[in-house]
Structure 1
Amino acid sequence: MHGIFLCAHCEFSSEIADVLEDHRKVSHPGLCGRKLCKKCRVLYQGDELEEHERLCSGEKQNWICPICQKEFKFLSVMKAHARGGEKKFRCDWPNCGKAFCHTDNLKVHYRRHTDEKPYKCDKCASSYRQKSGLKYHLEKAHD
């Protein structure tokens, strides 16, 4: 890997990724366990790096559940599925009670109750609950 690798926490830089990694371990021990994506030079925690590198490289290979062979786009979703899809984030809206594996999914779900649509089109009056809805709208309505 060629180029300059910059430390995200101080002024240190190196032309060698491994030297930056050694610097980080010595100078910033609180970040132990994080690993550097050598392509975009961002630090990731644990399994996040493996998933990020797959997406960063443009690789489209899915993650396969070792139990039932079902395919998943994201490692984190496959792991939740393999754990039995523990839905520990429950909606407390009256008469709802839906549950989700991830807190982000619960946040998006709450928007159905409140009708919050934080993603607003800057070209018209349309707004959406999810960023993906706005992205789809922009591609279809304004391209």
Structure 2
Amino acid sequence: GEKPYMCGECGYRAAQKSDLSQHVRTHTGEKPYNGNPYMCGECGYRTAKKSTLLVHMRIHTGEKPYKCDQCDYSATSKTNLDRHLTKHSGEKPYMCGECGYRAAQKSHLSQHVRSHTGEKPFKCDQCDYSAAHKSNLDEH
């Protein structure tokens, strides 16, 4: 397609003026809306990319276009579907360097690592109790 808008700084060309304006900010360092110009009209969520906002909107619309071919699960994003697929494949790509424990999800490995470090990031706001896992704090 035609790209009539050109950056005077580097020669980058864009089809739309708004795209050129966004590009020019890479030279100026200007960050409107803290670098997150795209806003959700439903909840106020902001993001730097239009594509990320479109995926976010599926939370409100309920649209889940990514379907698992092995069960009836469907997801709002390919990332979520890929995470789900590890349940079928049994793949556990994340490994603890301390003991060799393997996990299918990065967040599960992060939780496991706390068993070695003793870190308890979940603090009770009523007393001095703290927990390694949010579920333990919720129970408390």
TM-score bracket, normalised by the shorter chain, equals 0.5 to 0.7
Please report how far the alpha carbon of residue 25 of structure 1 lies from its aligned counterpart in structure 2 after TM superposition: 3.5
* 1:63-88 Cα distance to aligned partner (Å, 9 max, x none): 75331134266633322334746422
* 1:36-84 Cα distance to aligned partner (Å, 9 max, x none): 34332521558644443233x3x55667533113426663332233474
Which structure is larger by alpha-carbon Rg, 1 or 2?
A: 2
Query: What are the ranges of 5 or more consecutive residues in structure 1 without an aligned counterpart?
Result: 1-17
Please give the alpha-carbon distance, in whole angstroms, between the structure 2 residues aligned to 1:21 and 1:41: 21
- In the alignment, which residue of structure 1 is the partner of 2:6? none
Residues 132 and 82 from structure 1, CA distance in 2 versus in 1: closer, same or farther, beyond 3 angstroms?
same
Please give the alpha-carbon distance, in whole angstroms, between the structure 2 residues aligned to 1:120 and 1:130: 10
AA aligned to 2:102 is A
Work out which of the residue numbers 111, 117, 120 in structure 1 matches 2:120. 117
- In the alignment, which residue of structure 1 is the partner of 2:22? 24
Please give the alpha-carbon distance, in whole angstroms, between the structure 1 residues aligned to 2:50 and 2:104: 19
Number of positions where the alignment pairs a residue of Structure 1 with one of Structure 2: 114
Higher mean displacement: 103-112 or 123-132? 123-132
Identity %: 24
The answer to whether the aligner puts 1:53 opposite 2:57 as a matched pair is: yes
How well do the aligned residues superpose, as a CA RMSD in angstroms? 4.0
TM-score, normalising length from structure 2?
Answer: 0.53
Higher mean displacement: 81-90 or 101-110? 81-90
AA aligned to 2:114 is R
Give 4+ residue runs of structure 1 displaced > 4 Å after superposition.
Answer: 18-22, 44-48, 59-64, 83-86
Residues 78 and 38 from structure 1, CA distance in 2 versus in 1: closer, same or farther, beyond 3 angstroms?
same
Please give the alpha-carbon distance, in whole angstroms, between the structure 2 residues aligned to 1:37 and 1:132: 32
What are the equivalent positions in structure 2 for 1:3-82 lying under 5 Å apart? 23-28=21-26, 36-39=38-41, 40=44, 42-43=46-47, 48-55=52-59, 57=60, 65-71=67-73, 75=77, 76-82=79-85
Please give the alpha-carbon distance, in whole angstroms, between the structure 2 residues aligned to 1:74 and 1:133: 29
* 1:73-112 Cα distance to aligned partner (Å, 9 max, x none): 6633322334746422101223xx2222443321111112
AA aligned to 1:89 is Y
Residues 131 and 77 from structure 1, CA distance in 2 versus in 1: closer, same or farther, beyond 3 angstroms?
same
- In the alignment, which residue of structure 2 is the partner of 1:89? 94
